Structure 1
Amino acid sequence: MPARRQLSFEDLGTPLAEATLVVVDLETTGTDPAADAITEIGAVKVRGGEVLGEFRTFVDPERPIPAYIASLTGISDATVRGAPSIRTVLPMFLDFVGPEAALVAHNARFDIGFLRARAAECALEWPAPTVLDTLALARTVFRRDEVRDHKLSTLAAHVGAAVTPDHRALSDARATVDVLHAIIARLGPTGASTLEDLGTAHRRAKPVQLRKKHLAADVPSVPGVYQFLDAHGSVLYVGTSRNLRSRVRTYFTASETRRAILDMLPRAESLRVIECATATEAAVRELRLIAQEKPPSNRRGLRPEAAHWLRLGPTGEGLRGARLARTEADGSAHIGPLASRHDAQPLRGLLTDAVMGRGAALEADPARSAAPSSGHHERLRRAMVADPREVLDHAASRLRAHVDAGRYEEAEKLRRLALAYLDAARRASRLRALAEVPLLIAARPSTEAVIGGRGWELLAVRYGRFSGTTLVPAAKDPLPFARSLAMTGTGEAELAAPLCQGYHQEAEILLGWLEGEGVRTVLCEGSWQVPARARFEAEHLSRRFAMTSTAPGE
């Protein structure tokens, strides 16, 4: 077991004293983000009560400003004449905000709604920052017996703001800063000590969440698995997190609204945690525990053996749906797991038509699998295991025919079916390759604090099953740790199955890790590879379709 980590900001949330906040206010030509335009942006960046910077600019709305708006704000057509357009201003504003800051506004739905709409209009990616609404927070903190309403002008006067709001963007933003600080002071450290606390302070946790909050008191800040238990010790719910402390705490806040969890909490009497070396180990252990315990409040992973495949039987047998993946040593083949059991029949039709000719799937008895000739069987197997080109060429030519004839709905239906084929074949290809490797140990760079922020995370996999993991500080040689991993988890080989049948979810977690950036193979028994032409990627359908276009003049 690795040494216990010190609590970090990530574990506890972002302390308000360390959080960067950008308080923003807009002036606009109206109230509809879809139809109206921004005329002025004002913003104040603060951290720990200190002003770090201010942003203010007029914006050319590229339309007349209504007289009543000009009267209210003092911003007229003459005021914004020569001002930059929103296409120029918005990138500058987002750069001022930066990647880490939270946005604050009074009636945030209005201001953030305009900013998001203009970002979409300018083809700019909206960074989706944390958003705090001082109007919603004020309604929680300042009751009606204390203030007559929650308008910004009323609140500014009530808290003694240094700036009086005057319907100008920067002045209103400055006043909102003072209102925000007053709200934080009123809530106090027990009500909102982190940015995350402040974001949910205007919502009320359920009474049962408050009663059970003590269950999270001693949860450590390490990767692992947590189990809610009833009075008899039976498992009610299993979850995982790379930071157990911060994750478990959310179950007792207003941010947790899932009905299954709220129904579970009254029965929860204790919490059991299993500390793990890495988040990958935690994710795998969660899957295994859910399959073993079958907790009533979990919805997914209760039956890891349940999957849907499209199977090509040995020579002399055809395509059919299957619930289990079997050995392919007899010349059979699989693609899957499928997204739905309802995909099996359409995919069978696509492959059969591509290899045996249009209408072949319709001519076969639906109650029985079509029995292809040996030549067709080999081509079907190649399309499922090694080379998608024959199926993609068939799909691309049919797509072109649909598009040229204006049958766009049929084209879209066929495109989705072809993508479902590629997805199922790609999943099977990855699972097939990993399931055949007796032992694979790989390493990737790690910045975990427990190893000083720099080192390696090692992962051992046997036949697609998790075998072990460890963290190695940068100052130490990882090879001895890899050799130790090679001696662990030998029992996993006894549970190996073709295409990781019964544990494909676990295998796909490991594949996601192995295919990540910076991963290096340390030790490999056997061979981990896929056929050179087994490129079951969506982009290849697009390329094949592009090749069917007719050049001008032909």
Structure 2
Amino acid sequence: MARATTTGGGQLTFFDLERESADRRSADDEDRFDRSLFDTTMVVVDLETTGGSSATDRITEIGAVKIRGGEVIGEFATLVDPGCRIPPKIVTLTGITEAMVSDAPEIGAVLPSFVEFARGAILVAHNARFDMGFLRSNANRLGIDWPFHTSLCTVTLARRILTRDEAPSVRLSALADLFDVSVRPTHRALDDARATVEVLHRLLERVGNQGVGTYRELTAYLPRSDPRLRAKRSLAQGVPSRPGVYLFRGPSDEVLYVGTAVDLRRRVLSYFTGSDPRRRMGEMVSVATRIDHVECAHGLEAGIRELRLLAAHAPAYNRRSTQPHRGWWVVLTGERFPRLKVSRTPTDDCVGPIGNRSTAATIADLIGGAAGLRSCTGRSGSASHHWCRSEAAGGPRIGGCAAASDRPLTLPDYLPRVAAVRDLMTGESDEILGILTDRLAQLSDAQMFESAARHRDRLSATIDVLARCQRLSALCRIAELVVARPDDQRGWELAVIRHGRLAGAGVARRGVAPMPVVQTLIAAAETVTPGSGPLFGAPAEEPALLYRWITEPGARIVAASEPFVLPGACAQRWSAWSRTAHDARETRRRAG
């Protein structure tokens, strides 16, 4: 049995007396949906919040009960500091006051613990749209992976199973009265979750003799928002139960949507159940006339092929990765006295890509100012020297040219500054970052706290961009890298990577010698011609996905044309500083 609760001042403590299997299933692994409901692990969750909008309101309490085989095997409960005022009507309804949550953990600390508690289970809630909306919204806001793509709603279940005469209302309190449950709902999260567990068990008893024995059969039993979706299930004929990528096509053979799955058939069939909460998906399925698929060796290859297909087709119903080469770069110009500028096109001396032009301009100003590069764009001086006199009388001011001086700058004066910026970009030196942190200390010592906070945030963004670019550049400069990772069947997933792009993928099944498979993959791998820029022409999302895959636990380098290393003075060394700065900014934002 597992239990999480709050103690003392509301700090979260977690006790797990029954550990879930260490071999976690991926979000797309839906084997549990065909398992008997009796053997399926479910987590019944309930939330208390400051209001009804997941966009503007916040969670104040989470309660959850883990069940399997009709037994409770774990509980999770904690108050949550919402970081905002709790309206009086909510205090009256729930009894949760601001004093009670003042020293409770914030959602950023609670949500990862809840995800681990519920991982591998099916989530259940009374009015699941409300609870799942809040949980998913907070996961997106915090950048936390949300592995739960389906849920079960006891409101929907009750409306399907019970007649109007028997249950005029399907509110939790009404169903608790109908079934005479032992735990009464109190508008407190754990009590309401416990009551929902009993209601769920009583509802499942009603359908057990109607041929409903698995989660998949249960969801098929429930009413659908649009019966026309089920009528199009024939589009999935011929789709195999293999990893890969699927493409929904429209009447003119245009690609409407591209997705990836470890089991293509199950994922594609899920679009015809009406269970996807995204309304545009129902519209997409109603328009689709055909489904194509591409089988892949493993999840990494599927993810890469999805990125490439998104870039090639820019499907109307996909919202990400349709413009892989879009982004902004901070580049050193090729002028005699180079300066930093923001460009759509990478060069050999640049850093990026950066999603927002304003952020890119801020980073260029910060680095250029610290290095003393000119920011003026007009001609000043001659071919042999640069002289910006606009600020020379009183020295450079905020927003002025960092190279302003009372005398002309010659190339020998100026080029060391350019070299310092190049070294920062490539990770050969982080001297400029040291200058910028010293500047932060000076602002703090002068009690210019607002200016210090802005400088801290800009420096943190600069470090993050530099570190990401240097990581990906280290991968992209390698002509050939072969990596193996163990699969869940004691075999090996294999990838041949050339200049930051996947050139070949395969698997060595359990009992098969992997090295002959590796040699065959290398021989058949795609030829990659490197391009220009720090990523050698690769779109940033592909090497980023590859980098995550090859740096996760269990990955092993089988062969490499050159070492896979980061530069000695790379910005990654400043990652702890940047995380501290991010935490300080978030704390300040909540307080403000």
- Mapped pair 1:10 → 2:31: yes
- Mapped pair 1:519 → 2:519: no
Deviations 1:348-395 (A, max 9, x none): 1111111118659622799xxx99811111111111112463232232
Matched with 1:209 is 229
2:463 match: secondary structure:
helix
CA distance in 1, matches of 2:204, 2:516: 52
- Mapped pair 1:341 → 2:353: no
Is 1:354–1:394's contact at 8 Å kept on the other side of the alignment? yes
- Mapped pair 1:503 → 2:539: yes
| Deviation for aligned residue 1:405 | 4.6
Q: Within 5 Å, give how 1:357-506 maps onto structure 2.
A: 359=397, 362-363=400-401, 373-387=414-428, 389-447=430-488, 453-493=489-529, 496-498=531-533, 499-506=535-542
Q: Within 5 Å, give how 1:131-170 maps onto structure 2.
A: 134-135=154-155, 137-150=157-170, 155=175
Is 1:334–1:428's contact at 8 Å kept on the other side of the alignment? no
2:39 match: secondary structure:
coil
- Mapped pair 1:324 → 2:342: no
Is 1:443–1:521's contact at 8 Å kept on the other side of the alignment? yes
| Deviation for aligned residue 1:268 | 0.3
**Which stretch shows the higher mean deviation, 235-244 or 299-308?**
299-308
Give the RMSD, CA atoms, in angstroms.
4.9
- From the superposition, tell whether residues 422 and 199 of structure 1 become closer, same or farther in structure 2 (CA, over 3 Å): farther
| Deviation for aligned residue 1:346 | 1.3
CA distance in 1, matches of 2:458, 2:575: 14
Gaps of 5+ in 2: 1-27, 48-56, 78-103, 136-143, 374-395, 405-409, 582-592
Deviations 1:40-92 (A, max 9, x none): x9x986534x44669899xxxxxxxxxxxxxxxxxxxxxxxxxxxx99xx9xx
CA distance in 1, matches of 2:193, 2:473: 58
Q: Which has the higher contact order (CA 8 A, sep 6+)?
A: 1
Deviations 1:134-154 (A, max 9, x none): 355324432423334336676
- From the superposition, tell whether residues 277 and 191 of structure 1 become closer, same or farther in structure 2 (CA, over 3 Å): farther
1:500 match: secondary structure:
coil
- From the superposition, tell whether residues 404 and 305 of structure 1 become closer, same or farther in structure 2 (CA, over 3 Å): same
Aligned amino acid, residue 371 of structure 2: V
Matched with 1:295 is 315
| Deviation for aligned residue 1:228 | 0.5
Q: Within 5 Å, give how 1:164-243 maps onto structure 2.
A: 179-186=199-206, 194-195=214-215, 204-216=224-236, 218-243=238-263
CA distance in 2, matches of 1:424, 1:291: 23
- Mapped pair 1:539 → 2:575: yes
Matched with 2:81 is none
CA distance in 1, matches of 2:576, 2:45: 45
1:427 match: secondary structure:
helix
CA distance in 2, matches of 1:135, 1:190: 19
CA distance in 2, matches of 1:111, 1:543: 30
CA distance in 1, matches of 2:177, 2:229: 36
- From the superposition, tell whether residues 471 and 432 of structure 1 become closer, same or farther in structure 2 (CA, over 3 Å): same
CA distance in 1, matches of 2:259, 2:345: 27
Equivalent in 264, 276, 286 of residue 306 of structure 2 = 286
1:347 match: secondary structure:
helix
2:454 match: secondary structure:
helix
Is 1:354–1:390's contact at 8 Å kept on the other side of the alignment? no
Aligned amino acid, residue 19 of structure 1: T
Gaps of 5+ in 1: 1-6, 27-32, 58-85, 116-124, 448-452, 546-554
| Deviation for aligned residue 1:345 | 1.9
CA distance in 1, matches of 2:59, 2:541: 47
2:436 match: secondary structure:
helix
1:297 match: secondary structure:
coil
Aligned amino acid, residue 501 of structure 1: G
Matched with 1:20 is 41
Is 1:200–1:254's contact at 8 Å kept on the other side of the alignment? no
Deviations 1:209-256 (A, max 9, x none): 334344345532221100011234332221112232333233234442
Is 2:460–2:578's contact at 8 Å kept on the other side of the alignment? no
Is 1:386–1:534's contact at 8 Å kept on the other side of the alignment? yes
1:246 match: secondary structure:
helix
Deviations 1:126-169 (A, max 9, x none): x998875535532443242333433667646766x7x6667799
Equivalent in 248, 251, 274 of residue 271 of structure 2 = 251
Is 1:11–1:221's contact at 8 Å kept on the other side of the alignment? no
| Deviation for aligned residue 1:182 | 4.0
2:247 match: secondary structure:
strand
Structure with the greater alpha carbon radius of gyration: 1
Q: Within 5 Å, give how 1:101-112 maps onto structure 2.
A: none
How many pairs align? Answer: 472
Aligned amino acid, residue 344 of structure 2: R
Is 1:104–1:133's contact at 8 Å kept on the other side of the alignment? yes
| Deviation for aligned residue 1:480 | 1.3
Matched with 2:368 is 352
1:362 match: secondary structure:
coil
Matched with 1:62 is none
Deviations 1:286-345 (A, max 9, x none): 12222223323333333323332111135732211222223x3xxxx1110112122232
Is 2:496–2:521's contact at 8 Å kept on the other side of the alignment? yes
- From the superposition, tell whether residues 108 and 323 of structure 1 become closer, same or farther in structure 2 (CA, over 3 Å): closer
Is 1:224–1:241's contact at 8 Å kept on the other side of the alignment? yes
Q: Within 5 Å, give how 1:25-104 maps onto structure 2.
A: 46-48=67-69, 50-51=70-71
Q: Share of identical aligned residues, percent?
A: 33
Matched with 1:61 is none
Deviations 1:83-117 (A, max 9, x none): xxx99xx9xx99xx88655576767899999x9xx
Is 1:353–1:361's contact at 8 Å kept on the other side of the alignment? no
Aligned amino acid, residue 298 of structure 2: T
2:291 match: secondary structure:
strand
- From the superposition, tell whether residues 9 and 421 of structure 1 become closer, same or farther in structure 2 (CA, over 3 Å): closer
Is 1:387–1:535's contact at 8 Å kept on the other side of the alignment? no
